[in-house]
Amino acid sequence: MTMAKVLVSDPIDQVGIDILSQVAQVDVKTGLPVEELVKIIGEYDALMLRSGTKVTQEVIEAGTHLKIIGRAGVGVDNIDVPAATRQGIVVVNSPEGNTIAAAEHALAMMLSLSRQIPDANQSVKAGKWERKRFVGAEVYKKTLGVVGLGKIGAHVATVARAMGMKILAYDPFISTERAEQLGCRLVDLDLLFREADYITLHVPKTPETANLINSETLAKMKPTVRIVNCARGGIIDEAAIAEAVKAGKIAGAALDVFANEPLGESPLTELGTNVVLTPHLGASTAEAQVNVAIDVAEQIRDVLLGLPARSAVNIPGLNPDVMEKLRPYLQLAETLGNMVGQLAGGRIEQLNISLQGELATKDSQPLIVGALKGLLSQALRERVNYVNASIEAKERGIRVIETRDSSVKDYSGGSIHLEAQGSNGKHSVTGALLGDGEIRITDLDEFPINVPPSGYMLFTLHQDMPGIIGKIGSLLGSYNVNIASMQVGRKIVRGDAVMVLSLDDPLPEGILGEVIKIAGITDAYTVKLS
Ligand SMILES: NC(=O)c1ccc[n+]([C@@H]2O[C@H](COP(=O)([O-])OP(=O)(O)OC[C@H]3O[C@@H](n4cnc5c(N)ncnc54)[C@H](O)[C@@H]3O)[C@@H](O)[C@H]2O)c1
Ligand SMILES: O=C(O)CC[C@@H](O)C(=O)O
């Protein structure tokens, strides 16, 4: 039998290479341009990388023998995960291996900024002794605003509290109890921006967090605030923060991550002692590199040996045969979880899962995990997987209640009904698979419908009466949003009804407010499915 081949395309700790070498021929080729990678990837069964390699759709399509791609770190934003999934390639990461390293880097950045350590160091090395120039500020008794109270944010908050800081936290997906356990006061973003002396970002980069710190939000902050970003580039508008520091509107910024990396030319590099920059070093500790290398190399080894992966981002760590049969239903559960999570909104307190018909007789655990993964995907993005979804849900205080009803015979394969209680109230969605495996949403908030899920969806609750459909159509048309399909579900004529619109384009900001103003519409929600 020929030995499997693994390509390591970014610097990985030797311990990882040693693990891979137990089962495969390992080639380490770092710094390859995409064109080179495309040329050679067809020879390999596995690819292991950090954040340097861009695994585009082209690379994946050329990787005809690839079984697994392992990201030695958390973020898989440099991998085209949907393309990998389409090709049946497992993508794994190490969700926790560098948590402490990233948290400690954020704390180090905060203190470096406060005490101007990088510039003071340079000054001493230049033979100067400028004690008056480098008078700093204490963090003791100051207020730290933590945006994103997940793994890294929670550790930063814990250490900062021990340094005598008062912690305000903003995380719309975390329960008040969890925040209290960590000694943080959960507040809205506006209050955090207004009251914090230090702000540290620990959120994923998503459409909601892109440019979260911009000229408008910077204007709300104290002129003495110092901002730290060790999360992802693009969460801060770099031109706006450089301008705010230069104009003295804020006291400083310490950034480890940038919209474009390497940073290159930037207004940030021209600023002085109140800006500290590092080249994406959050995960760069010897310990974290060992952790992530072991974590990911072991998963690659296991998958090459035909065993399941521990932290699959896209495919559950299940026996491949079971997986093959279950995959469409997992996709259904995940899609429904994602939809009901967005409809219920923010902090979900409870998820009711009802397995109906044929599914009531099956092992429910994978489907529950699939639904939770979908439910948490708005908050956790690629960090939620089939392995950690249940633990993450438990930590967030989400109660899961399962029921079964085998008497429902509407769809031959059975159906899944989810009901979630969140900050937008209680919402429910039911779905099933058609004969060809296509997903159908069959019920929304107890109104019968029959629509396939689509990338952008708009749902309204309204009074069934003439004219409403036309008004919505004209409104969307005036924003150049194309409607792909539309359906109304109602129980009685001219009674309460829901309208489901599948859209070809995303809804522009603010349009939901206009939809709700249309006479007869009582509520409206959008759902985005990737
Ligand atoms: N600089 C580095 O080298 C480095 C290393 C590791 C991780 N990271 C980055 O750090 C960030 C945090 O990682 P983590 O492991 O703590 O992730 P995590 O998933 O444990 O936590 C992220 C938190 O953000 C919250 N969140 C999601 N959307 C939000 C929003 N719109 N507003 C407020 N909160 C929101 C989630 O509820 C979650 O609690 C990620 O962006 C990750 O990629 C950077
Ligand atoms: O590989 C790295 O050093 C970056 C790691 C970090 O950004 C992550 O997402 O884990």
Q: How far is the CA of 120 from the centre of ligand 2 (A)?
A: 28
**Count of beta carbons in the 10 Å neighbourhood of residue 31:** 10
> Residues near ligand 2 with C-beta < 6 Å?
50-51, 73-75, 98, 280, 282-284
Q: What is the CATH T-level fold of the domain 4-95+291-314, as seen in this structure?
A: Rossmann fold (3.40.50)
Q: How far is the CA of 151 from the centre of ligand 2 (A)?
A: 14
Q: What residue spans of 346-464 are helical by DSSP H?
A: 365-380, 389-395
What pLDDT is stored for residue 227 in this prediction? 98
Hey, which residues are catalytic here?
Answer: 232, 261, 280
Q: How far is the CA of 121 from the centre of ligand 2 (A)?
A: 27
Atom of ligand 1 minimally distant from the CA of 384? 19
Instruction: Report residue 297: phi and psi, to 5°.
Output: -60, -40
With the C-alpha atoms ordered 292, 298, 304, 306, is the resulting torsion angle positive or negative? negative
Q: Where are the domains of the chain?
A: 4-95+291-314, 99-277, 320-449, 454-530
228: enclosing H helix or E strand? strand 226-229
What pLDDT is stored for residue 316 in this prediction? 43
Burial of 470 (0-12, 13-18, 19+ CB in 10 A): exposed
Indicate which ligand has the atom closest to the C-alpha of 145.
Answer: 1
The β-bridge relationship of strands 350-356 and 415-422 is antiparallel
List the CATH code of the domain at 99-277.
3.40.50.720
**Cα distance between residue 467 and residue 446, in whole Å:** 23
Sheet with 185-186, strands from edge to edge, namely 185-186, 166-170, 143-147, 198-201, 226-229, 252-255, 275-277
∠ CA 195-197-199, rounded to 5°: 90
What pLDDT is stored for residue 315 in this prediction? 59
Start-to-end CA distance of the chain, whole Å, equals 40
CATH of 320-449, one of 3.40.960.10, 3.90.76.10, 3.30.1330.90, 2.30.42.10: 3.30.1330.90
Ligand 1, atom 10, residue with closest C-alpha: 231
Whether 145 and 170 have beta carbons less than 8 Å apart is answered as yes
110: enclosing H helix or E strand? helix 99-115
CA–CA distance from 11 to each of 8, 17, 222, 279, 455 (Å)? 8, 10, 41, 15, 36
Q: How far is the CA of 511 from the centre of ligand 2 (A)?
A: 36
- How does pLDDT run along the chain (530 residues), one tens digit per residue? 689 999 999 999 999 999 999 999 999 999 999 999 999 999 999 999 999 999 999 999 999 999 999 999 998 989 998 788 777 788 999 989 999 999 999 999 999 999 999 999 999 999 999 999 999 999 999 999 999 999 999 999 999 999 999 999 999 888 888 899 999 999 999 999 999 999 999 999 988 999 999 999 999 999 999 999 999 999 999 999 999 999 999 999 999 999 999 999 999 999 999 999 999 999 999 999 999 999 999 999 999 998 878 888 875 445 555 556 777 898 999 999 999 999 998 889 899 999 998 888 877 778 998 999 999 988 887 677 776 788 788 888 899 999 998 888 778 888 999 999 988 889 999 999 998 889 999 999 999 999 999 999 999 988 888 888 889 999 999 999 989 888 988 877 788 888 999 998 888 888 889 999 998 899 899 999 87
CATH of 454-530, one of 3.40.1280.10, 3.40.50.720, 3.20.20.10, 3.30.70.260: 3.30.70.260
Atom of ligand 2 minimally distant from the CA of 281? 3
Q: How far is the CA of 411 from the centre of ligand 1 (A)?
A: 39
Ligand 2, atom 3, residue with closest C-alpha: 283
Q: Dmax over Cα atoms in the chain, in whole Å?
A: 85
Instruction: Report residue 84: phi and psi, to 5°.
Output: -65, -45
Amino acid at 16: G
**Cα distance between residue 203 and residue 151, in whole Å:** 10
Residue bearing tokens 């605030």: 225
Ligand 1, atom 3, residue with closest C-alpha: 282
DSSP letters spanning 18-66: HHHHTTEEEEE--S--HHHHHHHGGG-SEEEE-SS--B-HHHHHH-TT-
**Cα distance between residue 71 and residue 91, in whole Å:** 8
> Residues near ligand 1 with C-beta < 6 Å?
74-75, 98-99, 102, 147-153, 170-174, 202-204, 206, 208-209, 230-232, 256-257, 280, 282-283, 379-380, 383
Whether 154 and 181 have beta carbons less than 8 Å apart is answered as no
Domains 4-95+291-314 and 99-277 share a fold: yes
